[in-house]
C-alpha cells in the first residue's frame, strides 16, 4: 500500500490508535499516515518557505544557494528569500486568525438571532456573565432589560471586526505596559477583519517588501485573533451555553458503545454540536434508538467542538486530530456530524467504507460526497433532530462482525474556566499567587494544539506534560492536547502523584489535576485573560511572569496564529517543529531571537519533549529570579 510502511507502534503511543491502524490496514483503509508517506519527501522550497505564487509572473522559487554568477536568487519581481518567506508566513498567520475569528463572529450572529427573536433554539444561559462582559466593554448593563444590554453587546462585538476603532475592546484586559509596547511597535490590533485584510494587501506584489515590517503586522493580525476574535468566541459561547464548571468525563475510543447509536461531533463551533446533543437527549429519539435494538444514544466528541461540549456538558471524548479517521474504522459510528476546521476531507471516503453517515452543517465547509444539512439559528433544533434520526436509522446497517472497540475508557476531569478556577480558589487569585511565590507551583505552561503525523501521535504532547509537572510546573491544556493528556491519566486529581512535591501538595489540597483542561483552541483566550489578570495583580507585564506556552505536535495555521499572539503578548513559546520559514535567515533570527528584544518573548523550536521541558524550565527559572523568587 505504501512505500515503506512504518509499524503502528511508531505511529502512535496509544493502544486504541494502534489497534485501529492495524484494522485499517487489514481492511484497505488509507489514513493520514499512509498519505504522509506518499507525500514524502516534501518539496524543499516549500519546506523552507521560499516558493511564491502571489502573481502570474511566477510562480517563483528561491534556492538557498547562490546562483552560478554568485548572486542571490530573486523572484521575477525582485523579491528575495526574506520577503517571500515573510509574506508566506504573514498569510499563514492571517489564515489562522481568520479561522478563529470567523468562528467568533458566528457566535455574535447567534446572540443577535436570540436578541431579535429569530430563534428559540438558543437562549442566554448565563445572564450574569452577559451583564458582566457588557459592563467590561463599557455598556450600561446594570438596570436595563437583558435584551437591550445583549443588543448593545452584539453591536460592540461586531464593531471589533470593523475598521472604525483604534483598538479592539478586550485589549483593556492586557497590562498597561504591554498595551503601551504594542502601541509603540505598531502592533495594536484595531479590528479583526481589518488586520486580516491588511495582511492580504501587504503581501500582494509590490507592497510590504521589508520582512521585519511584515512580521510586525503578522503579530498585530494574531493579536486581533487572541484578544478579540477568539476571545469573543469564548465569552459569547459561555453566555449562550453556560460557563464551564469542573466535572468528570471519559476519553479514548472506548467511549463508543457496542449497544448504542454512536454519534461523533467534530469541528469547532458549539453552535451545531450543542443542538445535536440536545436532540440526542430527547425521549422520542432515545425511544427510536431503542426501537432499533440499541440501548440508547452516545454523543462523543472529536477535536475542538468535542472540547466545547466536554467543558460545558461533560460529553465523553473519542479522540483528537489523528483519531478522527480511526474512530470511524471501529465500525461502530453511525454518524460524524461536522461544522468546520480540522476536518480531514478523507473522512468522506472512510465513512463510505462503513455504514457511517458523514454529515456537514455549514455552508462555508461543504465536502463533496457528504450529506448536507444547512443549519442556521432559526432551524438548528429541527435539523439536529433529523440528523439524529438519520444516525438512529443507520444503526440497523451496522455490521457487528466489523465492529472493534479496542479499549476501556479512562476518566478525565474538565471544566476549568477562569471563573471555575477563581471559584475553586475562594474568589481571589491570592492563594494561587502565594503558591507561586512559595515555589510550590514554580510556573505555568499552556500546552496547546494538534497532532501531526510527522510526530509519533501524542508522544511529545504527553512527554512534555509529564516532564513539566514533575518539575512543579502546572500545565494548562487546550485543543487536541486535552485528549492526549486525558488518555495518559493526567487529567484526574490522582495524577498529582506524578507531579513534583510542591504541585502535588497544591493539587491534593484543592482536589484538582496537575494538568487543567481549559477548553478548545479559541479558549486559549481564557489563558491570555488569566495571564493579564495575574500580571495586573502583581503589577508587572505578562513577559515578567514565570509562564510559557508550547505546541509540540502542531500542524495548522490556527496553531501558528496562537503561537504568534502568545509571543506578541510576552509568552515564550515552544514549537515541536518549525514553521516553513527556515529559508530566510532574517525571519528565522527574528522568530527565535529578535522578537525577545521587541516583545520580551520569542519562539523556540525543539522536537525532543524532554529538551523542550528544559527550555521552558530555564525560562521559568529566569523569570522567577527576576521577580526575586527562589528559582
**Piece of the chain touching ligand SF4 by CB under 6 A; list 46-54, 120-128, 227-235, 244-252:** 46-54
**What is the spatial distance between Cα 133 and Cα 137, in angstroms, rounded to a whole number?**
6
Task: Tell me how far, at minimum, the Cβ of 552 lies from ligand BF8, in Å.
Answer: 11
For 517, list phi and psi in degrees, rounded to 5.
Answer: -85, 115
Whether 268 has a binding-site annotation, put simply, is: yes
Q: Which of residues 238-257 bind ligand SF4 (CB under 6 A)?
A: none
Residues 137/595, Cβ–Cβ less than 8 Å = no
Whether 450 has a binding-site annotation, put simply, is: yes
**What is the spatial distance between Cα 255 and Cα 318, in angstroms, rounded to a whole number?**
6
Residue listed under C-alpha cell 501531526: 452
Choose from ligand SF4, ligand BF8, none: what does 55 bind? Cβ within 5-8 Å by kind: ligand SF4
Task: Tell me how far, at minimum, the Cβ of 62 lies from ligand SF4, in Å.
Answer: 8
Considering the complex, state which of residue 60 and residue 276 has its C-beta at the smaller distance from ligand SF4: 60
Considering the complex, state which of residue 255 and residue 561 has its C-beta at the smaller distance from ligand BF8: 561
**What is the spatial distance between Cα 158 and Cα 161, in angstroms, rounded to a whole number?**
5
Residue listed under C-alpha cell 463572529: 105
Q: Which of residues 49-78 bind ligand SF4 (CB under 6 A)?
A: 52-55, 57-60, 75-77
DSSP-assigned states of every residue in 333-374: -SEEEE-SSS--THHHHHHHTTT-EEEE--TTS--TTSEE--
**Piece of the chain touching ligand SF4 by CB under 6 A; list 48-56, 104-112, 394-402, 539-547:** 48-56
Whether 52 has a binding-site annotation, put simply, is: yes
Q: Which of residues 83-102 bind ligand SF4 (CB under 6 A)?
A: 84
Helix H or strand E segment including 474: strand 473-478
Q: Which of residues 175-234 bind ligand SF4 (CB under 6 A)?
A: 205
Residue 109, C-alpha cell as written in the block: 450572529
DSSP-assigned states of every residue in 371-418: EE----TTTHHHHHHHHHHHHHHHGGG--GGG----S--EEEEE---H
Whether 221 has a binding-site annotation, put simply, is: no
Task: Tell me how far, at minimum, the Cβ of 60 lies from ligand SF4, in Å.
Answer: 3
Considering the complex, state which of residue 317 and residue 601 has its C-beta at the smaller distance from ligand BF8: 317
Chain residues binding ligand BF8 by CB under 6 A are 268, 303-304, 320-321, 342, 449-450, 479-480, 520-521, 556, 558-559
Whether 217 has a binding-site annotation, put simply, is: no
Size of the site for ligand SF4 (CB under 6 A): 14
CA-nearest of 4, 12, 10, 7 to 461 is 12
Residue 335, C-alpha cell as written in the block: 454518524
Whether 77 has a binding-site annotation, put simply, is: yes
Choose from ligand SF4, ligand BF8, none: what does 76 bind? Cβ within 5-8 Å by kind: ligand SF4
Choose from ligand BF8, ligand SF4, none: what does 60 bind? Cβ within 5-8 Å by kind: ligand SF4
Residue listed under C-alpha cell 487536541: 480
Choose from ligand SF4, ligand BF8, none: what does 450 bind? Cβ within 5-8 Å by kind: ligand BF8
Whether 46 has a binding-site annotation, put simply, is: no
DSSP-assigned states of every residue in 83-148: HHHHHHHHHHHHHHHHHHHHHHHHHHHHHHHHHTT--SS---S-HHHHHHHHHHTT---SSS-HHH
Whether 531 has a binding-site annotation, put simply, is: no
Residues 333/256, Cβ–Cβ less than 8 Å = yes
Task: Tell me how far, at minimum, the Cβ of 87 lies from ligand SF4, in Å.
Answer: 8
Task: Tell me how far, at minimum, the Cβ of 207 lies from ligand SF4, in Å.
Answer: 10
Residues 175/183, Cβ–Cβ less than 8 Å = no
**Residue numbering of the annotated binding site for [Ni-4Fe-4S] cluster:** 268, 304, 342, 450, 480, 521
Known binding-site residues for [4Fe-4S] cluster equal 43, 52, 55, 60, 77
Q: Which residues are part of a known binding site? A: 43, 52, 55, 60, 77, 268, 304, 342, 450, 480, 521
Q: Which residues bind ligand SF4 (CB under 6 A)?
A: 52-55, 57-60, 75-77, 79, 84, 205
Amino acid at each position: 500500500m505504501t512505500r515503506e510502511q512504518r509499524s503502528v507502534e511508531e505511529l502512535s503511543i496509544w493502544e486504541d490508535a494502534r489497534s485501529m491502524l492495524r484494522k485499517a490496514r487489514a481492511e484497505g483503509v488509507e489514513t493520514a499516515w499512509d498519505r504522509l508517506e506518499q507525500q514524502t519527501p516534501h518539496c524543499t522550497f516549500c519546506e523552507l518557505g521560499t516558493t511564491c505564487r502571489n502573481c502570474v509572473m511566477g510562480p517563483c522559487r528561491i534556492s538557498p544557494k547562490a546562483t552560478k554568477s554568485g548572486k542571490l536568487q530573486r523572484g521575477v519581481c525582485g523579491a528575495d528569500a526574506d520577503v517571500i518567506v515573510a509574506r508566506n508566513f504573514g498569510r499563514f498567520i492571517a489564515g489562522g486568525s481568520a479561522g478563529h475569528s470567523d468562528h467568533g463572529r458566528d457566535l455574535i450572529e447567534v446572540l443577535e438571532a436570540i436578541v431579535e427573536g429569530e430563534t428559540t433554539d438558543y437562549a442566554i444561559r448565563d445572564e450574569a456573565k452577559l451583564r458582566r462582559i457588557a459592563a467590561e466593554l463599557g455598556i450600561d448593563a446594570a438596570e436595563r432589560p437583558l435584551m437591550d444590554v445583549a443588543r448593545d453587546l452584539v453591536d460592540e462585538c461586531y464593531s471589533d471586526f470593523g475598521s472604525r476603532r483604534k483598538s479592539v475592546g478586550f485589549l483593556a484586559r492586557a497590562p498597561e505596559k504591554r498595551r503601551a509596547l504594542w502601541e509603540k511597535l505598531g502592533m495594536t490590533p484595531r479590528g479583526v477583519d481589518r488586520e486580516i485584510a491588511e495582511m492580504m494587501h501587504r503581501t500582494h506584489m509590490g507592497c510590504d517588501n521589508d520582512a521585519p515590517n511584515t512580521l510586525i503586522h503578522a503579530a498585530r493580525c494574531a493579536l486581533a485573533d487572541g484578544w478579540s476574535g477568539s476571545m469573543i468566541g469564548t465569552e459569547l459561547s459561555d453566555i449562550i451555553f453556560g460557563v464551564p464548571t469542573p466535572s468528570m468525563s471519559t476519553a479514548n475510543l472506548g467511549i463508543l458503545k457496542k449497544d448504542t447509536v454512536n454519534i461523533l461531533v467534530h469541528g469547532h463551533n458549539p453552535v451545531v454540536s450543542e443542538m445535536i446533543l440536545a436532540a440526542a437527549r430527547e425521549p422520542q429519539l432515545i425511544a427510536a434508538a431503542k426501537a432499533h435494538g440499541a440501548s440508547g444514544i452516545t454523543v462523543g466528541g472529536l477535536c475542538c467542538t468535542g472540547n466545547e461540549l466536554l467543558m460545558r456538558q461533560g460529553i465523553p471524548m473519542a479522540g483528537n486530530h489523528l483519531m478522527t479517521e480511526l474512530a470511524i474504522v471501529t465500525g461502530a459510528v453511525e454518524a460524524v456530524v461536522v461544522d468546520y476546521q480540522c476536518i480531514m476531507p478523507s473522512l468522506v471516503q472512510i465513512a463510505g467504507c462503513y455504514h457511517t453517515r458523514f454529515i456537514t452543517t455549514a455552508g462555508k465547509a461543504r465536502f463533496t460526497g457528504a450529506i448536507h444539512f444547512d443549519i442556521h439559528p432559526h432551524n438548528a433544533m429541527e435539523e439536529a433532530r433529523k440528523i439524529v434520526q438519520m444516525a438512529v436509522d443507520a444503526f440497523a446497517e451496522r455490521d457487528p462482525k466489523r465492529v472493534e472497540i479496542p479499549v476501556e475508557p479512562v476518566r478525565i476531569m474538565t471544566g476549568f474556566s477562569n471563573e471555575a478556577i477563581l471559584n475553586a480558589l475562594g474568589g481571589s487569585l491570592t492563594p494561587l499567587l502565594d503558591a507561586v511565590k512559595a515555589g510550590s507551583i514554580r510556573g505555568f505552561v499552556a500546552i496547546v494544539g494538534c497532532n501531526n503525523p510527522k510526530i509519533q501521535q501524542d508522544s511529545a504532547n504527553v512527554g512534555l506534560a509529564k516532564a513539566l509537572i514533575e518539575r512543579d510546573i502546572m500545565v494548562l491544556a487546550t485543543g487536541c492536547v486535552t485528549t492526549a493528556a486525558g488518555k495518559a491519566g493526567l487529567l484526574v486529581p490522582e495524577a498529582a502523584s506524578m507531579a513534583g512535591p510542591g504541585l502535588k501538595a497544591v493539587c491534593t489540597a484543592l482536589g484538582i489535576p496537575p494538568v487543567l483542561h481549559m477548553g478548545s483552541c479559541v479558549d486559549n483566550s481564557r489563558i491570555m485573560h488569566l495571564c493579564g489578570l495575574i500580571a495586573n495583580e502583581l503589577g508587572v507585564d505578562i513577559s515578567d511572569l514565570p509562564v510559557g506556552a508550547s505546541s509540540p505536535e502542531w500542524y495548522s495555521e490556527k496553531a501558528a496564529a496562537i503561537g504568534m499572539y502568545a509571543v506578541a503578548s510576552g509568552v515564550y513559546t515552544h514549537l515541536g517543529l518549525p514553521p516553513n520559514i527556515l529559508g530566510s535567515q532574517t525571519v528565522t533570527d527574528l522568530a527565535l531571537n529578535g522578537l525577545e528584544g521587541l516583545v520580551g518573548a520569542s519562539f523556540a523550536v525543539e522536537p525532543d519533549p524532554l529538551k523542550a521541558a528544559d527550555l521552558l524550565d530555564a525560562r521559568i527559572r529566569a523569570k522567577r529570579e527576576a521577580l526575586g523568587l527562589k528559582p
